[in-house]
Structure 1
């Protein structure tokens, strides 16, 4: 397949975006053609937004070795070639040296630019169409309504659907902080993800427009992972505001009556997850907590409430 990869975490980074390079490497190793267009910085919690009135600038990025979280950024597309000798090019083929594109835009913007403005690979002089868009892998699960409705990862996948493409939003959930950059767990999760992506693509349900996939990082072989169809768990903010008052110096503090109101986005993630007793065994959050891979079939729309019908009579 020819796969477009976007994300909301930006270019490879140990702290913000530790998974995208490993996924691209695994996709290429499995014989897929991969085009990569990413935001030039983290754009989490941005949903399916576009920046209105902004001029988007593209630069080009040649990644280093996986797990080194480094690379070289160029103003011009050095080494850009449209040629690929076959749709089953190996990771040692020309596509492995094709630069990624970085843009000062959103995940949804990356989808549009990747589909329409990054020169496609060609075979026998003809562009190879993109078969699938993968948005991710996100650092952290995109489970429950609060995460999903704000997710740039899911937003990018929804944008792809609105462009007529099948898409999968992919997120990895570290079980512990020390596992965030664990090479063994990341490699295994990427292999599992590529296997699952292939299965979903070739057995795509006709009622599905995109899938949201959440994979826990685990010390277990891919073949031992259980995969569950799930639904998004409905939840709400439980505590106070997700914004934190800060001082002009940037420190969290009580607001001074004589100064401007300054706020930092700082949601309490335990508030978002909620307690286990509000979770059913059909929910995405439950599956991830149980160490299972969650696959949530979705449509790219705001579904209407089915019980509200007919004319409205005002009194």
Structure 2
């Protein structure tokens, strides 16, 4: 069975992450390991922690509809999360790194260089793992607070992840950046 590493930059309490995580578990396309920052790390870019120890905590998060998932919370950046997952948590290298779903789009050059969501995917690629980063546009006036608000995003993201696991990314592509419209 394939393995999937899920990370993000919004932390474990993000309803968008929980929607994606639940959709991946529901689809049963592989073993899902969730390693995320213990607090929001938006705009952390590709930063990693060098001069202080990182803490890792294991928790069980409620994903909705009676589902729970085990997550590892890291006191660092999304890049740190991927490195800790590969070096300390996962026995084998995953088949795919899935980063997101970010609560906000990542479509501008500025976003691409500062996004922790994109950085988590990049860290996977730097370790020889294909990766996909998912982000969702959120209008200023609307801040969804439940996983259900992102249910369609989560289901489509899980379909894309399943397709990548089955077919691979196109030749010459190591990272796919997917941005969903709000509706």
The structure 1 residue matched to 2:107, chosen from 104, 124, 143, is 143
In structure 2, the partner of 1:4 is: 5
In structure 1, the partner of 2:88 is: 117
C-alpha deviation, 1:204, in angstroms: 1.5
The structure where helix makes up a greater share of residues is 2
Residues 142 and 214 of structure 1 are in contact (CA less than 8 Å); yes or no, is this contact kept in structure 2? yes
**Deviations 1:26-54, CA, capped at 9 Å, x for gaps:** 10111121001111101111111112211
In structure 2, the partner of 1:235 is: none
The normalised TM-score by structure 2 is: 0.89
The normalised TM-score by structure 1 is: 0.53
Three-state SS of the structure 2 residue aligned to 1:100 is: strand
**Deviations 1:199-224, CA, capped at 9 Å, x for gaps:** 34415111111011111231xxxxxx
Three-state SS of the structure 1 residue aligned to 2:171 is: coil
Which of these two proteins has the greater Rg computed from alpha carbons? Answer: 1
**Deviations 1:179-230, CA, capped at 9 Å, x for gaps:** 6236554111111111122234415111111011111231xxxxxxxxxxxx
Give, in whole Å, the separation in 2 of the partners of 1:134 and 1:175.
Answer: 24
Q: Which consecutive residues of structure 1, in runs of 5 or more, have no partner in the other structure?
A: 69-90, 121-126, 219-315
Distance change in 2, residues 1:19/1:203 (3 Å) = same
Matched, 1:18 2:15: yes
Distance change in 2, residues 1:157/1:62 (3 Å) = same
Give, in whole Å, the separation in 2 of the partners of 1:58 and 1:64.
Answer: 19
Residues 138 and 170 of structure 1 are in contact (CA less than 8 Å); yes or no, is this contact kept in structure 2? yes
Distance change in 2, residues 1:165/1:66 (3 Å) = same
Give, in whole Å, the separation in 2 of the partners of 1:216 and 1:185.
Answer: 13
Three-state SS of the structure 2 residue aligned to 1:19 is: helix
In structure 2, the partner of 1:213 is: 178
C-alpha deviation, 1:115, in angstroms: 1.2
The structure where strand makes up a greater share of residues is 2
In structure 1, the partner of 2:169 is: 204
Give, in whole Å, the separation in 2 of the partners of 1:59 and 1:206.
Answer: 37
Aligned-residue RMSD, C-alpha: 2.2
**Deviations 1:226-246, CA, capped at 9 Å, x for gaps:** xxxxxxxxxxxxxxxxxxxxx
Give, in whole Å, the separation in 1 of the partners of 2:26 and 2:16.
Answer: 15
Three-state SS of the structure 2 residue aligned to 1:102 is: strand
In structure 2, the partner of 1:159 is: 123
C-alpha deviation, 1:65, in angstroms: 4.0
Distance change in 2, residues 1:144/1:67 (3 Å) = farther
- Give the alignment of 1:55-70 within 5 angstroms: 55-66=53-64
The structure 2 residue matched to 1:186, chosen from 144, 150, 170, is 150
Three-state SS of the structure 2 residue aligned to 1:136 is: strand
C-alpha deviation, 1:163, in angstroms: 0.6
Tell me which of the two structures has the higher relative contact order, counting C-alpha pairs closer than 8 angstroms and 6 or more residues apart: 2
In structure 2, the partner of 1:259 is: none
